[in-house]
Structure 1
Amino acid sequence: MQTTTFYRVAWAALALTFVVVILGAYVRLSDAGLGCPDWPGCYGQLLDVPDQAAQIAEANSAYPHRPVEPAKAWKEMIHRYCAGTLGLLILALAVLAWRGRRQTDQPVTLPLVLLGLIIFQSMLGMWTVTWQLKPVVVMAHLLGGLTTLSLLVWLLLGQHNNRKLLVTVESRALRSYALLGLALLVGQIALGGWTSANYAALACPDFPTCQSQWWPPLDFREAFTPWRGLGRSYEGGVLANDARVTIHIMHRIGALIVALYLGWLSWRLVATTRNRTLQLAGGAIAVLLIVQLGLGIANVMLHLPLPVAVAHTGGAALLLLSLVTLNHLLRPEATV
C-alpha cells in the first residue's frame, strides 16, 4: 500500500512538473516574468492580484517602477501556484520514501534529492524576480525544472525493475553513446535557455542565413558573460546586436551537432539492434528530433509566435525524456 501511494504521488508530480515547465516558458515568452515585482506575493498580496481600481492605484504607488498589468500578474501567479503545489507533492514523496525506507523496494535517495532540488528551484524562482530576469538565473531555473522532470521519470522507470520490463543491454558501447547524446542535448537546452533569457531568439530573423549573411559579426566575450552584477533589469535584454547574434548562431550550430548525433544514434538503435524496445526508443527519438527541428525553424521564419515558441520548450522536454528513458533502458540495474 505504501509503495502504491508513493508511485501515485510520483506520477502526479511528473504530470505537474511538465505543466510547470510549460507554464514557465509561457510566462517568460509572453513577457510576464516580472508580472509580479515581488516574491512570493504579487504587489504585496499573497493569494490575489490587484485588479480593482483602488488596489491597482495602491500597488502602483508602492511599486512605481513596475505599474500593474493584471493579465501578466495572473500568469505569473498561476505559475507560482502550480510550482507551490508541485513542491508539496515532492515533499509528500520524500516523507513517504522516508517512512517506507525499511522496505527493500522503496527508493529513498532520489526522493530526498528531489526535495533538495525543488527547494533550490524555489530559490531560483525568487531570484528570477528579485534579480529582474538575470539571464544566468533564468537559464538555471529552466534547467532545474527539466532536471526535476528527468529525475521523476528515472524514479518511475525504476518502479518496473523487478517486473523485468526493461531491456537487457546488448552492447556496452550503446551506454556510452546514449550518455553522450544526453549530455549534448542538455548542453543544447542550456544554449536555448541562454538564447531566450537574452532575448536573442530573433537576432537572426532569416534562415539558414543570419541577417542575410552566413557568418555575421560576432562578439563571444559579451555574448557569454555570465555575471553582470545586480541592480538592473534584464527585461527585453541588455546585449548589443553582435552579442545576440553570437548566441543565436551558437544555438543553431549546437542544434546541427545534436541533430546529426541523435539522428545517427536513432538510426543505430532502429537498424542495428534486434531488441524491439530499443528500436521503439530510437524511433521515438527520431520523431521528436524532427518535430523539434521544425519548431525551431518555424520560430525564426514566423518571428517567434507564442504557441510555437512554447511548443519548442515542450519539444525539448519530451526529447530530453526520451534520452533519459533510453539511458535507463540501457542500465536496468540502476537503483535509486
Structure 2
Amino acid sequence: MWHNNTLSSAYRWGLIATAIACVVVVLGAFTRLSDAGLGCPDWPGCYGHLTWPKSDDAVARAEARFPEFPVEHDKTWPEMVHRYFAGFLGLIILGITISTWRWSVKTPHQSYPRKHALGLLFLVIIQGLFGMWTVTLKLWPQVVTAHLLGGFATLSLLWLFTLRCAGTTWQLPSDKHRQLTGIKWLALLSLLAVITQIALGGWTSSNYAALACTDLPTCHGEWWPAMDFEHAFNFAQSIGPNYLGGLLENEARTAIHVTHRVGAIVVTMLVLLLSWKLLRLGSFVTRPIAWLLMLVLLGQISLGISNIVGSLPLAVAVAHNAVGALLLLVMVTLMHRLFTAKSC
C-alpha cells in the first residue's frame, strides 16, 4: 500500500511538473519569437535587478550600466517571467529527484524511476547553463537551438516519468500483440523524424529564416530556388557580436526554410502511415491515439501554413511551437504504450 501511495504521489508531481514545463516551453517560444531573448542583457538578473527596472530612475541607471541595450519593457518582462518559471520547474524536479531516491531507499524491493529522475535533474541544470549562454553569447544560433531542444527534452522526459509512475499499459490479444513488432520500428522512426523536425524548426527560428520564403507551395516562385546549404548548416560558425535578427545571407536562410518544409513532408508521411497501421490493428486501445496523432498533425500543418501566409503572426508562431510539443508528447505516449504493451 505504501508503495502504491508513493507512486501515486510521484505521478501527481509528475503531472504538475509536466504542466509547468509546458508553460516554460510556450514562454520560451514567446520570448524568442517576440525578439525578447536579449530583453535582459545580463544573467540571472535583469539590468542588475531581481525582476526588471520599472521606475524612471531604475531605467536610467540600467541604461547607464548597459548603454548598448536600452530598456524595452515589452522585452524585459517576457525574459524574466520565463526565467522564473524555469527556475520554479527546476526546484520541483529537484524535489521529485530527492523524493524518488528516498522512496527507493525505504522500499529497496520496489522499482522506482530514480535514475530517470536523476537524469531529469542533470538535464535541467544543463538547461540553466544554456539559458545563461543564450544571453552571454548573444543569441548564438547553436546555443539557442540547443536550449530549445533541451526544453523539449525536459518536457518529454517529465511526461515519460509521469507515464511510468502511472503504471498503465495496453492489454492486447496475443495475435494483435505480435503485430506491434513492425509498428514499433515505424514509431521509432517517426519519433526520430519529429525530433529532427523540431531541431530544424529551432534552427529556422534562431537564424530568422521563418520568412525566407513567403509563398506556397513554391519558394520565391520556384520549386527549387537558389540556396546556400554550406553556410546554412555551418554549425562551426564563429561566435559573433550579436545574432539578434540573424547574420546569414538570404540564400542561406532560404536553404534552412526549404529544408524545414521538406522535413514537414517527411514527418507527415511517416505519421500518417503510422496512424494508418494503428487503425488497421482494429483495437479499441490503439484507435484513439491514431486519431489523436492525425488531429495534432493536421493542426501543426495548418499552423505552419498560416505562419507563411500571415507573415509569422506572433500568436500563430507560438501556437506552432506549442502544438509541436504536443505532437512530441503524443509520440512519447505511443512509444511508452508500444514498448510496455502486454498480451492478454
Name the residue aligned to 2:145.
Answer: 139
* TM-score, with length taken from structure 2: 0.93
Contact 2:169-2:340 within 8 A present in 1 as well: no
Contact 1:167-1:332 within 8 A present in 2 as well: no
SS of residue in 2 equivalent to 1:212: coil
Q: Does 2:103 align with 1:100?
A: yes
Structure 2 unaligned spans of 5+:
none
Query: Shift of residue 333 of structure 1?
Result: 6.9
Contact 2:169-2:341 within 8 A present in 1 as well: no
Task: Look up the equivalent residue of 1:7 and give its one-letter code.
Answer: Y
Contact 2:140-2:240 within 8 A present in 1 as well: no
SS of residue in 1 equivalent to 2:339: coil
Query: Shift of residue 157 of structure 1?
Result: 1.2
Equivalent residue in structure 1 for 2:92, among 89, 92, 97? 89
Equivalent residue in structure 2 for 1:155, among 148, 153, 161? 161
Name the residue aligned to 1:39.
Answer: 43
Task: Output the CA distance in 2 between the equivalents of 1:263 and 1:157.
Answer: 24
Contact 1:185-1:320 within 8 A present in 2 as well: yes
Structure 1 unaligned spans of 5+:
none
Equivalent residue in structure 2 for 1:9, among 9, 13, 18? 13
Deviates more, 1:165-174 or 1:48-57: 165-174
Task: Output the CA distance in 1 between the equivalents of 2:28 and 2:236.
Answer: 22
Contact 1:167-1:330 within 8 A present in 2 as well: no
Equivalent residue in structure 1 for 2:34, among 30, 47, 50? 30
The 5 A counterparts of 1:1-336 are 1-45=5-49, 47-102=50-105, 103=107, 104-161=110-167, 164-168=168-172, 169=177, 170-270=179-279, 272-332=280-340
Task: Output the CA distance in 1 between the equivalents of 2:193 and 2:312.
Answer: 24
Q: CA RMSD in A?
A: 1.4
SS of residue in 2 equivalent to 1:100: helix
Task: Look up the equivalent residue of 1:90 and give its one-letter code.
Answer: I
Identity of counterpart residues, as a percentage?
47
Name the CA shift for 1:100/1:333 in 2 (closer, same or farther; >3 Å).
farther
* TM-score, with length taken from structure 1: 0.95
Contact 2:40-2:76 within 8 A present in 1 as well: yes
Query: Shift of residue 3 of structure 1?
Result: 3.0
Task: Look up the equivalent residue of 2:7 and give its one-letter code.
Answer: T
Task: Look up the equivalent residue of 2:36 and give its one-letter code.
Answer: A
Task: Output the CA distance in 2 between the equivalents of 1:96 and 1:236.
Answer: 44
CA-to-partner distance for each residue in 1:123-171, whole Å, 9 max, x for gaps?
010001111111111111111111111111111111233xx54344442
Query: Shift of residue 231 of structure 1?
Result: 4.6
CA-to-partner distance for each residue in 1:41-94, whole Å, 9 max, x for gaps?
00011x221121111111111111111112210110000010000000000000
Task: Look up the equivalent residue of 1:39 and give its one-letter code.
Answer: W
Task: Output the CA distance in 1 between the equivalents of 2:13 and 2:163.
Answer: 14
Contact 2:183-2:277 within 8 A present in 1 as well: no
Contact 1:160-1:166 within 8 A present in 2 as well: no
Name the CA shift for 1:295/1:3 in 2 (closer, same or farther; >3 Å).
same
SS of residue in 2 equivalent to 1:277: coil
Contact 1:167-1:329 within 8 A present in 2 as well: no
Task: Output the CA distance in 1 between the equivalents of 2:286 and 2:330.
Answer: 11
